[in-house]
Structure formats: structure tokens, C-alpha cells
């Protein structure tokens, strides 16, 4: 590096001076830049702007739950034994003493009772999985309703839908691993669903399970898929997802100084980095609290899997509920002809229907473009009420999935309301058609109504009404919230250099008229 | 930017001094320390700093507590709370620091179009089309061979990848282990005698010797119910199948294979807990309700000279859920 090499410093002070005003940091940057040429791009990255809106945080929840899944998952692999070999249990949990079980189940009971912090790690892993899928779904809803999937971001939407499918799949596979009574029942249902596929079903089922259910290879196979294959694919897709985000930059809501050709917000370094790193810790801490205080999947209560046993009122993890509901309310239509059977009652709700839903998700950007004929690039977001039709469709879809989810507890509802199971079933068979249509239509109408109202959607400020000594009433806006003052400023490029000299500051502080503006006040230190 | 900020090329020399002559100087927007854009959002930064410091201290205490709790092997909830509180508060403090005490802008970044120029686009397309064209035109044969080779590899690779994962189904899905004369045994392997079950009783039975095997558990499992009538016929043609009111059905639900484990004694209904299919014990386990499409197959029973329950034959059809090759003709008799 020219400066450093030629100056031949002798004293410490010389060294310091030779490095320039930025000292050792400059040296590291120089050395890296010589080899990688990253000063320019790296600085652009530090200046990357993140729009300040709470809804941009949903994807972060998903990302950080995945981090927690990776960490706790690696911990679990140290103790989990993916084997269906039979053992007799003699461990820390006395009620199961002497019970026949698979090594997979035994090792999961051991993780829960014999490994230090094992139960916490297991429960954190399970909670993180539920939060992961939940955050993906809510994140996806915000992308949908604000139109963030429009050109040029269709590819990222597609990656997102794929991530959702993989997350659901890995969640199902994950809770199949402990080989307890509930997970075994889930696997049996999975096997039967594969069987229902026309032409190839029985072949596929035999290949996946290595023969008839349950066989003795399935846990081992699912294990490697669960801990290696799907997480790797998810990691790769996450990289692509975030890479595209950096390349295409964030979308933003319309607002002061915001156009299709810029991004307004706070910079990657230091503001966003501090906020998001803190948020990672918060998600981790929240999941630790959930995992430690809220019991989930107490497999020792269910007992080991035995194909002829079943526990009552079993519910799958929440993200499988809609499929379970669809299976429940499907009429028992099975076609048999020419020596073949087509089990519609399974194939439709468990294979075709989810296939249809996910394909509609994949295709949505194209479907919408077909209707709007809009091929322009969009970086400014829609407010949902400004797109009543899209909002209506989205609400209808959510209503459909919720109805199916509710239908997965037909028995619970029948017991609770003391009505016959039959009536509940018939209600849901109609409801899956009626509720989405009504909800979608209502959402569409409400959007149209909201468009006419001025000032809606703005952050409300409380009115402060005070009575003067003379008995007069005066109403005033309350003080703006912290940060609101910043909203009023004209956006500026991120400064590269900041005058840190206090001399330059001192004069302005305390005298500035700004000081009365809440939110931008500076106090001299 | 406001007045105190200028874009000064001269200032740029400081950073890129070593080669200022060879590269264009970097535009370096400068902000003064008291530029409103650089200011904190907190109304009272001093107080905010103190609050955040307290949050972080709680976080540090939590994390230290987690270490201690883990070391002492404390109760799981203590380990969890110390860890959770530690991470959460440290993170909360950090986020608040970023939100209230760091430059809030608003800052702006230009969004440069991603699209290349029309010439660039055409050059790319030309490279693809024309180079491919010249190769394919000259060497059709090689292209075809390569494509064919890869195609064949794809098909051949399916065998090790797919085929060796499991056996072919053959007629495995049609068969059970029930044969002519098989003893019915309970889960401990004890043979079931005709005089030991009460009317209204129900139990799960297996083919003798298989009660603890995967196949016995998953495929052969059968429910045995004793109904009131002694001369009892479920369906025409099955007159001899239920001696002394002992009737046996496959326990594998015809919907998705869950064990049909619930029995409503008064209604004489078998109920599957998975999706609430209900099967009427009296009329041959025809589904009365729910998604199951077919009756549970019935196992023909007889009582031998010593009073033991045995099967007359296997099931007359495949048990469990439907699949493409399943026929409605009985072929499960083995
Ligand atoms: C997409 C991400 C993932 C999801 C949705 C997920 C979900 C799950 C779920 C729900 C369970 C059942 C936990 C229980 O209640 O017992 C589980 C178990 C397990 N997971 Fe994951 N997981 C993911 C990633 C990982 C990774 C990356 C690893 C390891 C590197 C891992 C290792 C394990 C192990 C060893 C088990 C079995 C032990 C046990 O059940 O306690 N998982 N997973
Ligand atoms: S498996 Fe029995 S009703 Fe679904």
C-alpha cells in the first residue's frame, strides 16, 4: 500500500500518521481491498437503505426462527438416534420403565429427561418450527396485500412460496422423527396419502417406506432429509431470496420524498444492523421463554408408536390443520372401475387440493398481470384498500384456509356445542364455499368504502383537551411520538463523512430552534 | 441536504489518497454532527441511554444466570427463563439503541435501473442464438448423441435412486397374515376363548405369533366384538362368520389407515378417532358417517373344539385405505 510502504515509519506516532486519519481500520480496508476490491461495493452495502415500517420485520422473524432451528437442531442431532430398532426402556422417566420402544423414541425421551437443557432445546426447536411457518405465512400475506410481488420481484415471490412449502414439509418430517404415538399416526396417514396417488401410488409408498408400513427404514430416511437435505435447500433459497432483495432493493410505501426511483429509510450501518441484531436476540430469547415455559409435544405422555394403538383427540401441528380439515369434510367418493380404484376421498383433499393452492400461489403474479395488463416495474407499494379486488381474493383465500383449519376440529366443536357431529360436518361442507365468498366480497366492499375516507390509515394523535382558569376549553394535538419529527424531514443521502469535532457542534446545540421540535432535540453532553 | 452538508470532492482525497490521480474522486456527502438527520429519535436521549443500559444489564444478568443455572443443572424452567430473559433484554436494549439513539435519517438511496442497454441485451441474445446455431448446424449428430446419452442416464439413474429404495408392491397390499385356522390372540399372545368375553366387550386381536411384529400390528390388527345375539349375520352370505355373536373386523380404517379404536357400545358403532368415520357393527361395518369410503373387511371366525376363536380364512379383500391396484373382488384370502 503506497502510503504505508513508502513512509517507512519509525516511531509509533509515525505509524499512526502514516495510516491516515482512520488508522488501523484504514489498513484493514486497504489490505482487503487490494485482494478483493470490496471498498466500493462494501460501502454501498453499508449505505443500503431499509424502509422504516413494522411490516418489514415479519420476514426477519422467519429468518431468525430459522437460525434458532439450526442451532437447537444441531444440539438435538448430538443425542437423537434415528433408528427403529426395538429396545426396552430403563431410563430416567420411571412411568415408561420396561416399555418396548424404538431407539428413536428412547433417545427423544432421554433428550427430554436425561440431557441437560435437552428438554428446553427440544421444545425451543418445536416452538421455533411453529413460529417459523407462522412468520412465513404472515410475511407472505404482507407481500401479497401490498403488491410487493409485482414486477420485478416475481422470482422472489416464487422462492418465498417454495420456502413455505419446504418449511411445512420439514416441520411435518421433524415431528415424525420421535416415533411417538402421534407422529407414527401422522406417518401412517402420510403413507396412505401416497398410496392414493393413481398409477404410481403403491410403488411410491413402497419406495419411500422400503416396503409396507411401517417398515424399519423410514425414520432413518426422514432424518437425513430433515437435518441435511431440506435445511440445505432452505439455506440456498434464503441466500437467493436475500441476494435478490439486495440487488433489487426494498419496496417502500409512498410517502414524503419517496419515489419509484429511490429508497428512503435508515442505513444498514449502524442503525439497521443494531436494530436487527437486537431483534435476532429478542426472537431467540422469546423462543427460549416459550420453549421453557410452554410445554409442547410431551411425547412421553403419548407413549411409543404402536401401529394398533391410537391416542384420542390428536391434533397435528397447526400448519397441517387445513389439510386435516379438508380430509375430514371430503365426502367419501371413491371410484372403482376396470379393476382399479381411485380414492378421491384422499387424493383430492390431500394431494390435488394443496397442489392447487400452492400452484395458485406460485402463479399469482402472472394471474394478476393477466387481468391488469400491467407490465411496469413497481417499487412503491399498494395500500390494500387501493386494490379492492386483490385484497378480496386474498381475504377469501385466508378465509378458506381458516375454515378448513376449523374443520379439523369437527369433533371438538360438536362436543363443545353439544350438536351432532353430522351437523357440524354438513355445516363445514357448505361453509368452505360460503365463508370465503362472503369474506372476500365483504373485504372488497370495505376497501371501496375506505377509499372514500380522507386521512384514514394515518397515525392518529390523541387530542388533549384542557380547561383554562377562565373555564374555557382548548383542544390541542398531543405531542408527536418519538421519531415523528424525522418523518417531516426531507430525505438525504447517507453522509459518508460526519464532522465529529465538538467545536462545530457546540455552537448549534441548545440554541437551535429545532430544540422545541420533539423528536429532534439534542442535549449537550 | 441541509446547509451544513456539502458534497466535497476535495475531502475525498483523504480516503483515496494513495491513488487520487488514477481514479475519479468519490463523492463524499458530509454531515455535521448536529444535522437533524443524524440526530436521535429519543425525546430525551440521556434518559433513553439510561433505560437501555438497565435493559442490557438485565440481559447480562440473565445470560450469566443461564451459565450458572446450566452449570448447577437447575430445573429446566430456570435454565429457560435465564436464557430467555438474557437474550431478550440484551436484544431489546440493542434494538432500542438502534431505534432511539442512532441516526434516523430519513436517508435516501437512489435506485438505479437494473436493465442493461438495448445493445447489451441484443448482444447477449446474439451470443446465445448464433453460437448455438453454428454448433448445432455443424454437428447435429453429436448434439443428438449428447442429448440421448443424458436422457438414457436420467432413466437408468432412476433405478439405483428409486427402485432400490424398496421392493415392488406385488400383492403385498392385498395380503394379511390371517389364514385358515389361525388362532386369535391378544396383545400378550394369549389365545382368545369363546367363553371369556362379555357381551358388549371389545378387544384387539392378532394372528397367533405375530402380536408383537410390525406386520401383525400394522396390517393384521383386528377388532373382536361380542354382540348380544348369538345367531348373528352382518351381511347375507356371511351367516357363519360370527359364531356366538363374536364378530371381527379389520382395525385398519379404510380412509387413511388409522386404527379404528373407539367403540360406541349403545349404538354399536366403531369410530375412527382420526377423522370420525363411523362403522356400523351390525350391518358389516358399512360407513355411516365420515370420509371412509368402504366397510371394514370382516374376518370369518369359527370356534374350534376346545373353544378357541380361529379364522375360517383370511380377509376376502385388501384391508386399509384405497390404492390404484385395489379391486373390489376379494383376493386377500390366503
Ligand atoms: C426448516 C427447518 C426445521 C423445522 C421446521 C424443524 C422442525 C422440527 C420439529 C417440529 C421437530 C419435532 C420436535 C419434537 O417435538 O420432538 C423436529 C425434530 C428434530 N429436528 Fe428439526 N426442524 C428444522 C430444522 C432442523 C435442523 C437444521 C436440524 C439439525 C441440523 C434439525 C434436527 C432435528 C432433530 C435431530 C430432531 C429429532 C429430535 C427430537 O424430536 O427431539 N432440525 N424438527
Ligand atoms: S383414518 Fe379413519 S377416518 Fe380418517
- Give the pLDDT confidence score for residue A418 in this predicted structure: 87
CA-closest candidate to residue A119, choices B211, B173, B322, B70: B70
DSSP A385-428: GG-HHHHHHHHHHHHHHHHHHHHTTHHHHHHHHT--HHHHHHHH
Q: ipTM score of the complex?
A: 0.87
A-B interface: how many C-beta pairs under 8 angstroms? Answer: 412
Burial class (CB in 10 A: 0-12, 13-18, 19+), A3: middle
Cβ of B17 under 8 Å from any chain A Cβ?
yes
Contacts with A116 from chain B: Cβ below 8 Å: 70, 73
A124 or B140: which leads in pLDDT: A124
A377 or A256: which leads in pLDDT: A377
Cβ of B270 under 8 Å from any chain A Cβ?
no
Tell me the domain boundaries of chain A. 3-37, 463-510
A63 or B38: which leads in pLDDT: A63
Instruction: Please judge whether A270 and B33 are an interchain contact, meaning their C-beta atoms are less than 8 angstroms apart.
Output: no
- Give the pLDDT confidence score for residue A443 in this predicted structure: 97
CA-based nearest distance B135→chain A, Å: 31
Q: Which residues have C-beta within 8 Å of that of residue B198, sequence separation ≥ 6?
A: B226
- Ligand 2 near B254 CB (within 6 A): no
B43 — pLDDT class (breaks 50, 70, 90): confident
B26 — pLDDT class (breaks 50, 70, 90): low
Cα of A69 vs centre of ligand 1, distance in Å, is 7
Contacts with B17 from chain A: Cβ below 8 Å: 3, 20
Q: Which of residues 123-152 of B touch A (CB under 8 A)?
A: none
Tell me the domain boundaries of chain B. 6-164, 184-311
Are B193 and B309 in contact, with CB atoms under 8 Å apart? yes
Lowest mean pLDDT among A393-397, B2-6, B242-246: B2-6
CATH number of B184-311: 2.102.10.10
Q: How far apart are CA B240 and CA B233, in angstroms?
A: 7
- CA of A310, nearest ligand number: 2
- Give the pLDDT confidence score for residue A474 in this predicted structure: 86
Are B242 and B312 in contact, with CB atoms under 8 Å apart? no
The pTM of the full predicted model, rounded to 2 decimals, is: 0.89
Residue nearest ligand 1's atom 5 by CA: A171
Cβ of B1 under 8 Å from any chain A Cβ?
yes
DSSP A276-287: HHHHHHHHHHHH
C-alpha cell at A494: 447517507
- CA of A186, nearest ligand number: 2
- Ligand 2 near B210 CB (within 6 A): no
CA-closest candidate to residue B42, choices A507, A460, A523: A523
Q: How far apart are CA A91 and CA A387, in angstroms?
A: 60
A521 or B252: which leads in pLDDT: B252
Contacts with B292 from chain A: Cβ below 8 Å: 332, 345
Burial class (CB in 10 A: 0-12, 13-18, 19+), B271: buried
Instruction: Please judge whether A247 and B114 are an interchain contact, meaning their C-beta atoms are less than 8 angstroms apart.
Output: yes
Q: How far apart are CA A351 and CA A343, in angstroms?
A: 11
Work out the mean pLDDT of chain A and round it to a whole number: 88
Peptide bond into B106 cis (omega under 30): yes
Q: How far apart are CA A50 and CA A60, in angstroms?
A: 12
On the question of pLDDT at B95 being above 80, the answer is yes
Lowest mean pLDDT among A260-264, A415-419, A428-432: A415-419
- CA of A67, nearest ligand number: 1
Contacts with A119 from chain B: Cβ below 8 Å: 76
- Give the tens place of pLDDT for each residue, B44-65: 889 999 999 999 999 999 999 9
Biggest CA pair distance of chain A: 96
Contacts with B80 from chain A: Cβ below 8 Å: 120, 288-289, 291-293
Q: How far apart are CA A284 and CA A167, in angstroms?
A: 18
CA-closest candidate to residue B284, choices B321, B311, B248, B251: B248
- Give the pLDDT confidence score for residue A107 in this predicted structure: 97
Using most ligand atoms within 8 A of CB, pick from B218, B249, B252, B255 the residue to mutate for ligand 2.
B255
DSSP SS3 for A498 = strand
B133 or A276: which leads in pLDDT: A276
- Ligand 2 near B255 CB (within 6 A): yes
B328 — pLDDT class (breaks 50, 70, 90): low
- Give the pLDDT confidence score for residue A458 in this predicted structure: 64
Q: How far apart are CA B11 and CA B27, in angstroms?
A: 9
The pLDDT of A114-138, averaged and rounded, is 96
On the question of pLDDT at A88 being above 90, the answer is yes
Q: How far apart are CA B308 and CA B195, in angstroms?
A: 9
Candidate from B81, B204, B328 with C-beta closest to A292: B81
C-alpha cell at B282: 351390525
Instruction: Please judge whether A308 and B17 are an interchain contact, meaning their C-beta atoms are less than 8 angstroms apart.
Output: no
CA-closest candidate to residue B55, choices B83, B94, B101: B94
Q: H-type helices in chain B, by residue range?
A: 9-12, 45-71, 76-100, 118-138, 140-161, 214-215
Instruction: State the closest ligand 1 atom to the C-alpha of A178, by its place in the atom list counted from 1.
Output: 40
Shortest CA distance from B330: residue in chain A: A339
Q: Which of residues 153-192 of B touch A (CB under 8 A)?
A: 162-163, 165-169, 172-173, 187
- Give the pLDDT confidence score for residue B163 in this predicted structure: 83
- Give the pLDDT confidence score for residue A17 in this predicted structure: 66
- Give the pLDDT confidence score for residue A499 in this predicted structure: 78
On the question of pLDDT at B12 being above 80, the answer is no
Contacts with A284 from chain B: Cβ below 8 Å: 87-88, 91
- Give the pLDDT confidence score for residue B204 in this predicted structure: 94
A113 or B3: which leads in pLDDT: A113
Using most ligand atoms within 8 A of CB, pick from A73, A112, A123, A218 the residue to mutate for ligand 1.
A73
Q: Which of A122-131, B13-22, B151-160, B189-198 has the largest mean confidence?
A: A122-131
C-alpha cell at B332: 386377500
Q: How far apart are CA A405 and CA A324, in angstroms?
A: 8
Using most ligand atoms within 8 A of CB, pick from A174, A227, A228 the residue to mutate for ligand 1.
A174
- Ligand 1 near A73 CB (within 6 A): yes
CA-closest candidate to residue B318, choices B294, B301, B302: B294
- CA of B256, nearest ligand number: 2
Shortest CA distance from A247: residue in chain B: B114
Cα of A118 vs centre of ligand 1, distance in Å, is 13
The share of chain A scoring above pLDDT 90, in percent, equals 69
Amino acid at each position: 500500500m503506497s502510503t504505508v510502504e513508502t513512509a517507512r515509519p519509525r516511531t509509533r506516532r509515525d505509524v499512526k500518521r502514516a495510516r491516515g486519519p482512520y488508522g488501523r481500520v484504514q489498513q484493514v480496508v486497504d489490505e482487503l481491498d487490494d485482494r478483493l476490491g470490496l471498498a466500493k461495493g462494501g460501502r454501498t452495502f453499508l449505505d443500503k437503505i431499509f424502509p422504516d415500517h413494522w411490516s418489514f420485520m415479519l420476514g426477519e422473524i422467519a429468518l431468525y426462527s430459522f437460525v434458532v432451528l439450526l442451532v437447537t437442531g444441531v444440539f438435538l442431532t448430538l443425542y437423537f438416534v434415528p433408528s427403529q430398532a426395538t429396545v426396552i426402556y430403563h431410563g430416567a422417566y420411571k412411568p415408561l420403565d420396561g416399555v418396548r420402544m424404538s431407539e428413536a423414541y428412547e433417545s427423544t425421551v432421554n433428550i427430554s429427561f436425561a440431557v441437560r437443557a435437552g428438554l428446553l432445546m427440544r421444545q425451543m426447536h418445536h416452538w421455533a418450527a411453529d413460529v417459523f411457518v407462522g412468520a412465513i405465512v404472515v410475511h407472505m400475506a404482507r407481500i401479497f396485500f401490498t403488491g410487493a410481488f409485482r414486477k420485478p420481484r416475481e422470482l422472489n415471490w416464487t422462492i418465498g412460496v417454495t420456502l413455505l412449502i419446504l418449511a411445512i414439509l420439514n416441520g411435518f418430517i421433524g415431528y415424525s422423527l420421535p416415533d411417538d404415538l402421534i407422529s407414527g399416526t401422522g406417518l401412517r396417514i402420510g403413507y396412505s396419502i401416497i398410496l392414493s396417488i393413481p398409477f404410481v401410488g403403491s410403488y411410491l409408498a413402497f419406495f419411500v417406506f422400503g416396503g409396507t408400513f411401517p417398515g424399519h427404514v423410514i425414520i432413518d430416511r426422514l432424518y437425513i432429509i430433515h437435518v441435511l437435505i431440506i435445511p440445505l435447500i432452505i439455506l440456498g433459497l434464503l441466500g437467493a431470496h436475500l441476494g435478490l432483495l439486495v440487488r433489487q432493493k426494498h419496496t417502500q410505501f409512498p410517502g414524503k420524498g419517496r419515489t419509484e426511483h429511490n429508497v428512503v429509510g435508515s442505513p444498514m450501518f449502524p442503525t439497521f444492523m443494531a436494530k436487527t441484531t437486537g431483534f435476532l436476540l429478542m426472537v431467540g430469547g422469546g423462543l427460549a421463554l416459550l420453549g421453557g415455559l410452554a410445554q409442547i409435544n410431551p411425547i412421553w405422555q403419548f407413549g411409543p408408536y404402536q401401529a394398533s394403538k391410537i391416542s384420542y383427540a390428536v391434533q397435528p401441528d397447526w400448519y397441517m390443520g387445513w389439510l386435516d380439515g379438508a380430509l375430514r369434510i371430503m365426502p367419501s367418493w371413491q371410484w372403482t372401475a376396470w379393476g382399479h380404484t381411485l380414492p378421491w376421498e384422499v387424493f383430492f383433499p390431500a394431494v390435488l387440493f394443496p397442489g392447487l393452492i400452492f400452484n395458485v400461489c406460485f402463479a399469482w403474479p402472472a394471474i394478476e398481470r393477466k387481468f391488469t395488463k400491467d407490465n411496469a416495474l413497481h417499487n412503491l407499494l399498494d395500500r390494500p384498500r387501493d386494490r379492492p379486488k386483490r385484497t378480496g381474493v386474498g381475504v377469501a383465500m385466508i378465509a378458506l384456509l381458516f375454515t378448513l383449519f376449523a374443520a379439523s376440529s369437527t369433533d371438538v366443536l360438536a362436543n363443545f356445542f353439544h350438536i351432532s357431529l353430522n351437523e357440524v360436518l354438513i355445516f363445514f361442507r357448505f361453509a368452505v364455499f360460503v365463508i370465503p365468498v362472503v369474506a372476500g366480497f365483504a373485504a372488497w366492499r370495505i376497501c371501496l368504502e375506505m377509499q372514500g375516507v380522507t386521512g384514514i390509515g394515518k397515525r392518529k394523535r390523541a387530542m388533549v383537551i384542557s380547561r383554562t382558569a377562565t373555564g374555557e376549553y382548548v383542544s390541542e394535538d398531543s405531542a408527536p411520538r418519538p421519531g415523528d419529527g424525522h418523518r417531516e424531514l426531507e430525505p438525504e443521502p447517507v453522509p459518508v463523512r460526519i464532522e465529529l469535532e465538538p467545536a462545530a457542534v457546540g455552537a448549534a446545540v441548545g440554541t437551535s430552534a429545532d430544540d422545541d421540535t420533539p423528536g429532534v432535540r439534542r442535549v449537550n453532553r | 441536504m441541509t446547509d451544513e452538508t456539502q458534497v466535497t470532492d476535495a475531502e475525498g482525497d483523504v480516503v483515496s489518497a494513495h491513488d487520487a490521480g488514477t481514479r475519479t474522486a468519490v463523492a463524499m456527502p458530509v454531515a455535521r454532527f448536529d444535522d437533524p438527520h443524524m440526530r436521535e429519535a429519543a425525546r430525551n436521549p440521556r434518559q433513553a441511554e439510561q433505560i437501555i443500559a438497565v435493559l442490557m444489564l438485565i440481559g447480562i444478568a440473565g445470560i450469566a444466570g443461564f451459565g450458572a443455572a446450566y452449570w448447577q443443572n437447575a430445573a429446566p424452567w430456570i435454565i429457560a427463563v435465564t436464557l430467555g430473559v438474557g437474550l431478550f433484554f440484551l436484544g431489546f436494549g440493542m434494538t432500542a439503541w438502534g431505534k432511539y439513539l442512532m441516526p434516523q435519517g430519513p436517508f435516501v438511496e437512489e435506485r438505479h435501473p437494473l436493465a442493461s442497454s438495448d445493445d447489451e441485451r441484443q448482444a447477449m441474445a446474439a451470443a446465445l442464438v448464433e453460437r448455438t446455431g453454428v454448433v448445432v448446424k455443424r454437428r447435429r449428430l453429436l448434439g443428438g448423441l449428447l442429448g440421448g446419452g443424458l436422457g438414457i442416464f436420467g432413466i437408468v439413474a432412476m433405478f439405483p435412486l428409486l427402485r432400490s429404495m424398496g421392493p415392488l408392491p406385488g400383492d403385498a397390499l392385498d395380503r394379511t397374515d390371517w389364514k385358515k385356522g389361525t388362532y386369535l390372540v391378544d396383545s400378550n399372545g394369549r389365545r382368545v376363548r369363546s367363553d371369556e368375553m362379555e357381551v358388549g366387550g371389545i378387544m384387539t386381536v392378532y394372528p397367533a405369533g405375530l402380536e408383537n411384529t410390525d406386520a401383525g400390528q400394522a396390517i393384521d390388527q383386528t377388532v373382536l366384538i361380542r354382540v348380544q345375539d348369538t345367531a348373528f349375520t352382518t351381511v347375507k352370505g356371511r351367516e357363519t362368520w360370527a359364531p356366538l355373536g363374536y364378530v371381527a373386523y379389520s382395525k385398519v380404517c379404510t380412509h387413511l389407515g388409522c386404527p379404528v379404536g373407539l367403540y360406541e357400545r349403545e349404538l354399536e358403532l366403531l369410530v375412527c378417532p382420526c377423522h370420525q368415520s363411523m362403522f356400523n357393527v351390525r350391518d358389516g361395518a358399512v360407513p355411516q358417517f365420515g370420509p371412509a369410503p368402504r366397510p371394514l373387511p370382516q374376518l370369518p371366525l369359527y370356534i374350534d373344539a376346545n373353544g378357541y376363536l380361529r379364522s375360517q380364512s383370511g380377509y376376502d379383500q385388501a384391508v386399509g385405505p384405497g390404492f390404484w391396484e385395489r379391486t373390489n373382488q376379494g383376493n386377500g384370502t390366503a
